[in-house]
Amino acid sequence: MTLQRKLDRAAALAAIASVVGAKYATADEAALAPHLVEPRGLWRGRAAILVRPGTTDEVARVVSLCRDAGLAIVPQGGNTSLCGNAVPYEDFDGVIVATDRLDRVREVDVANNTITVEAGCILADLQRVAAEHDRLFPLSLGAEGSCRIGGNLSTNAGGVAVLRYGNARELMLGLEVVLPDGRVWNGLRALRKDNTGYALRHLFVGAEGTLGIITAAALKLFPLPRERVTALAALPDAAAAVALLGRLQTAVGDAVTGYEIMSRIGVAMCLRHIPGSVDPFPAPHPQYQLIELSGQRADGSLRAGLEEALAAAHADGLVRDAVIADSLAQAGAFWRLRETIPEAQKFEGGSIKHDVAVPVSRVAAFIRRATEAVEAALPGVRVVAFGHVGDGNIHFNLSQPVAGWTTAAFLAEWERMNRIVHDLAEGMGGTFSAEHGIGRLKRGELVRYRSAVEVDLMRALKAAIDPAGLMNPGKIL
Ligand SMILES: Cc1cc2nc3c(=O)[nH]c(=O)nc-3n(C[C@H](O)[C@H](O)[C@H](O)COP(=O)(O)OP(=O)(O)OC[C@H]3O[C@@H](n4cnc5c(N)ncnc54)[C@H](O)[C@@H]3O)c2cc1C
């Protein structure tokens, strides 16, 4: 659908800059540069201007001017997303709306266990504010020092505590959104029960900025845990990880908060490249399981339950060795091993990355079958599989063979490897995209793996809410 432009482009850009004030609008190449490139350097786009509105009203006025001039918009939070959704295309000539100045905490309602914040709040700041009120905001991921809650919601971020608390969608109760026509929808209801027709708020979660700009969110809080126990177990294989999870859940219930698997090759890469990394056990093991339990009792019962479950698993051959962290520093070292695997992989040449999920019961079979398939298709490829096994979400990364391949030649295999890994995940009742989203990277995969009915519905929603196609064009669909 084409809409008649009511405003000339140059006049609109000048008016947009004056809405936020000259200090918060820039077309300067150097100032724009970090906002145009995706974190892994996969894409570098362009934009006419970047604006940093400070209020919802300013966002609404900017969007209205864009609508009138037919200027497209890319909303941007921390620009940490890994599928190319936060940066514009190479031929983009519209506006980046950065949310960093929308960073106020509007309300903490301890009795209601909710916090209402603006979209530009950095995730780590939000966690800190919650903790100051003796509450937990449980979303936690490697980029939490720079990603912003609007971006977390727009990608429906997962992270390391989904097993216990759910992903961003499950933590969200209400939203305030500037729609593509410039109207503000105030759906900031901090309610756990609100059955009033279509749950509009859920449309904007995971929408990657294609349906509007989230300006604020009402989010769930939880009691701040009094006890945390972190352990690392050495396992014979991934099947043992799944079996051990079941035993731990039987022993300590939903106290199992984090459950992250790492294969030896990933740990070895950390030991080679990440200063300060320490081999956790005297001998190497095929798999390592990072376990985090948390609870309210602070009487040592969680640690006791964990020790008992690990001892029984050891006796049954599921666990080869295990260590329970005695200090925050030791727990931090276990987590650093897990979180620095992607960083360590960069030193090993090209990586082809997959962010897939299957039912937890099929994780071990998936890792085994996918490993066999890619090794047969590309001899020498090194499988670095790690991640949120408790959610069935595996980052099935491939590092280039040690010899015989240039990085460029290896990366040219991306499509072929995708087909093997994604076909298998989908065929096992899983998904090709677990937590990072579609963006620019996986648009083709969405059409390939989702039914025509599903894609039609998505297109119909997009057309109904953003008929001129101005919001984050070319992303998802
Ligand atoms: C080291 C590292 C670890 C990571 N670990 C995880 C992980 O464990 N789990 C996980 O899910 N992701 C992870 N990610 C990916 C990334 O951090 C998340 O996708 C994060 O939620 C993005 O937030 P952001 O503020 O950086 O958003 P951006 O990257 O700026 O934007 C992401 C998308 O949201 C849109 N957007 C941003 N703000 C708004 C808004 N206010 N309104 C509407 N649309 C908006 C953008 O247009 C874009 O489409 C990781 C990334 C890194 C670099």
The alpha carbon of 314 and the centre of ligand 1 are apart by a number of angstroms equal to 39
Residue 253 has pLDDT above 90, yes or no: yes
Residue 107 carries which side chain, given as an amino acid letter? E
Residue 374 carries which side chain, given as an amino acid letter? V
- The answer, yes or no, to whether any atom of ligand 1 lies below 6 A from the CB of 340, is no
- The answer, yes or no, to whether any atom of ligand 1 lies below 6 A from the CB of 142, is yes
Residue 313 CB partners (closer than 8 Å, separation 6+): 233, 240, 243, 244, 247, 319
- The answer, yes or no, to whether any atom of ligand 1 lies below 6 A from the CB of 155, is yes
pTM of the model: 0.96
**What is the per-residue pLDDT for 42?**
86
Residue 2 has pLDDT above 50, yes or no: no
- The answer, yes or no, to whether any atom of ligand 1 lies below 6 A from the CB of 84, is no
The alpha carbon of 349 and the centre of ligand 1 are apart by a number of angstroms equal to 25
**What is the per-residue pLDDT for 40?**
84
Predicted confidence (pLDDT) per residue in 69-83, tens digit: 999 999 999 999 999
The alpha carbon of 453 and the centre of ligand 1 are apart by a number of angstroms equal to 27
User: What is the average pLDDT score of the chain?
Assistant: 96
DSSP β-ladder status, 172-178 and 213-220: antiparallel
Q: And the tokens for 287?
A: 């798999």
Predicted confidence (pLDDT) per residue in 346-402, tens digit: 999 999 999 999 999 999 999 999 999 999 999 999 999 999 999 999 999 999 999
Task: Ligand 1, residue 85: give the atom nearest the CA.
Answer: 49
- Candidate of 51, 52, 126, 147 to mutate for ligand 1, largest count of ligand atoms within 8 Å of Cβ: 147
Predicted confidence (pLDDT) per residue in 31-44, tens digit: 999 999 998 888 99
The alpha carbon of 173 and the centre of ligand 1 are apart by a number of angstroms equal to 19
Residue 4 has pLDDT above 70, yes or no: no
- The answer, yes or no, to whether any atom of ligand 1 lies below 6 A from the CB of 210, is no
DSSP β-ladder status, 213-220 and 49-51: unpaired
The alpha carbon of 341 and the centre of ligand 1 are apart by a number of angstroms equal to 19
Question: pLDDT category, 185, cuts 50, 70, 90?
Answer: very high
